[in-house]
Amino acid sequence: MFDRINRWLRPAEAKAAVSGGAAVYFGARAVWTPRDYGALAAAGFRRNAVVHRAVRLVAESAAALPLTLIETGRALDAHPLLALLARPNRRQGGARFLEEVYGHLMVSGNAYVEALRVDGRAAELHALRPDRMRVVTGADGWIAGYDYTAGGTTRRYAMGEGPAPILHLTLFHPTDDHYGLSPMEAAATALDIHNAAGAWNKALLDNAARPSGALVLEGSGNLSDRQFAKLRAELDESFRGAANAGRPMLLDGGLAWQSMSLTPKDMDFIEAKAGAAREIALAFGVPPLLLGLPGDNTHANYAEANRSFYRQTVIPLARRTGEAFAAWLGTPDLRLEPDLDAIEALAPERESLWRRVSAADFLTADEKREAVGYGRR
């Protein structure tokens, strides 16, 4: 399904060492992670701590936010839709199910939910993996169905006159009509820089924390193939790895050691890695302070960052998702809204609002209730 995404091809002349030891690049160009779901999930969520924490923070925070079902201005305490969202299937509870949906959105930019219906009524909800789903369009360009491939079998979910069999949630994509754009794809360059900086540090540790260099034969003449192979084997055996850190090198036969690489200080890897981490956090809408990144780590700043995170990231995401579920499973007069009173980070704002509204003598009791988000009595 991700053939639509423009991939950045690896240059043929770029060579990188992926085994132990320092990686040496000779005039190479940058090598970027392909912009597809599998590559981004592997390089990002599975291998990068900043991406992993950002995805989990958004998904878990949004999934933990209670949803209120509102019908014609009044909140409902009981309804089949609320019961379905509280227990969408036999394997998952409501929070776990929504966490999976939000996680797919963060990693892929797309999330798919299947409804198993009994007598026309949704009985179970299941989140489907985005990398296995493909949108099928008709001759007019509109979505005609979805193909889901798993275990070598493809199942077609056709769009008919009744309720849609698949709920397709997307994040905004400026150049694609059907698929969403993942925050991880927008942060892919920063992700590659962050991972490369970590790999560089690991390679330095594997090579006694020294940058790579060259053994130079002084004077005229060359080493024979046998001498070269023997020297290389001795270096690998005696000087590679953390166990050999600090071991002195004994050179003979006119050999001299000459450093070739820039030092980490020269390349400013620490600053580059920190900057890349902040760009990743920016793409996901998570304040860097909440991810433990360097910054103004004070109590006041943390509280403000937490409020900003909920206002600008979690609440809009939960509101769009609740609206989509209500339109898909409910009726036109039903709305699913996040319960803002349940967010502890917003308690000071709510308290200030209630105090101002309570002091407004020109408002009636029903108008005050509406002003703070409650319906009329």
Which tens digit of pLDDT belongs to each residue from 82-129?
Answer: 999 999 999 999 999 999 999 999 999 999 999 998 888 899 999 999
Q: Residue 11 pLDDT > 70, yes or no?
A: no
The span from the CA of 37 to the CA of 65, in Å, is 27
Greatest mean pLDDT range, 39-53, 217-231, 337-351: 39-53
pTM comes to 0.74
Counting other chains too, the contacts that 295-301 makes at CB distance below 8 Å and 24 or more residues apart are none
pLDDT for 110 equals 94
pLDDT for 263 equals 60
Among the listed ranges 101-115, 143-157, 212-226, which one has the minimum average pLDDT value?
Answer: 212-226
Q: What value does the mean pLDDT take over residues 136-165?
A: 89
pLDDT for 160 equals 81
The span from the CA of 54 to the CA of 51, in Å, is 5
Q: Which two tokens stand for residue 185?
A: 């794809």
pLDDT for 22 equals 31
The span from the CA of 251 to the CA of 255, in Å, is 6
Q: Residue 67 pLDDT > 80, yes or no?
A: yes
User: E strands within 129-238?
Assistant: 133-137, 143-150, 153-158, 166-170, 213-217
Q: Which two tokens stand for residue 162?
A: 């009744």
Among the listed ranges 48-57, 62-71, 219-228, 337-346, which one has the minimum average pLDDT value?
Answer: 219-228
Q: Residue 24 pLDDT > 90, yes or no?
A: no
Measured CA distances, 308 to 82, 278, 287, 300, 302 (Å): 28, 16, 8, 12, 10
- Backbone φ and ψ for 97, nearest 5 degrees, come out as -65, -50
Q: What value does the mean pLDDT take over residues 233-238?
A: 71
Virtual CA dihedral for 16, 22, 28, 29, nearest 10 degrees? Answer: 70
Burial of 293 (0-12, 13-18, 19+ CB in 10 A): middle
CB atoms within 10 A of CB 54: 29
Q: What value does the mean pLDDT take over residues 71-77?
A: 84
Which of the two residues, 31 and 25, has the higher pLDDT score?
Answer: 31
Which of the two residues, 225 and 16, has the higher pLDDT score?
Answer: 225
Q: Where are the domains of the chain?
A: 2-189+273-341, 213-260, 343-377
Q: What percentage of the chain's residues is helix, strand, coil (to nearest 5)? A: 45, 15, 35
Which tens digit of pLDDT belongs to each residue from 248-277?
Answer: 565 555 666 666 555 655 556 778 888 899
pLDDT-based confidence at residue 141 (cuts at 50, 70, 90): confident
Q: Residue 1 pLDDT > 50, yes or no?
A: no
Average pLDDT, the chain: 78
Which tens digit of pLDDT belongs to each residue from 303-346?
Answer: 888 989 999 999 999 999 999 999 999 888 899 999 888 888 77
pLDDT for 240 equals 62
Virtual CA dihedral for 83, 88, 93, 99, nearest 10 degrees? Answer: -120
Give me the numbers of helices (H) and strands (E) for the chain, helices first please: 13, 11
pLDDT for 193 equals 87
Q: Residue 5 pLDDT > 80, yes or no?
A: no
Q: Residue 234 pLDDT > 80, yes or no?
A: no
Q: What value does the mean pLDDT take over residues 238-254?
A: 58
Pairing of the two strands 143-150 and 133-137:
antiparallel
Closest CA to 344 of 375, 312, 290, 303: 303
